[in-house]
Amino acid sequence: MKTIEIADEFYSVDKIYPKVRNAARAVIFDRDKRIFAEITSNPKVVMLPGGGFEGDEDAFECAVRECAEECGLIVKPVKPLFNIREYYRDCIFFSAYVLCEIVGECEKHFTEKEKSINIISDWRDMGDVLSDIEDLMKRYKDIDGELYGCHKREYIAIKELIDSRI
Question: Which residue, 23, 108, 88, 93, is CA-closest to 58?
Answer: 23
Across the strands, what pairs with 102? Answer: 75
pLDDT per residue as tens digits for the range 64-117 = 999 999 999 999 999 999 999 999 989 999 999 999 999 999 999 888 888 788
Q: What is the maximal distance between C-alpha atoms in the chain?
A: 46
Alpha-carbon span 150 to 93, nearest angstrom: 10
User: How far, in Å, CA of 155 to CA of 140, rounded?
Assistant: 13
| Bond into 43 cis (ω within 30) | yes
**Using one digit for the tens of pLDDT, what is the confidence trace for 105-158?**
999 988 888 878 888 999 999 999 999 999 999 999 999 988 999 999 999 999
DSSP string covering 46-60: EE-SEEE--TT--HH
pTM of the model: 0.94
Radius of gyration of the chain measured on its C-alpha atoms: 15
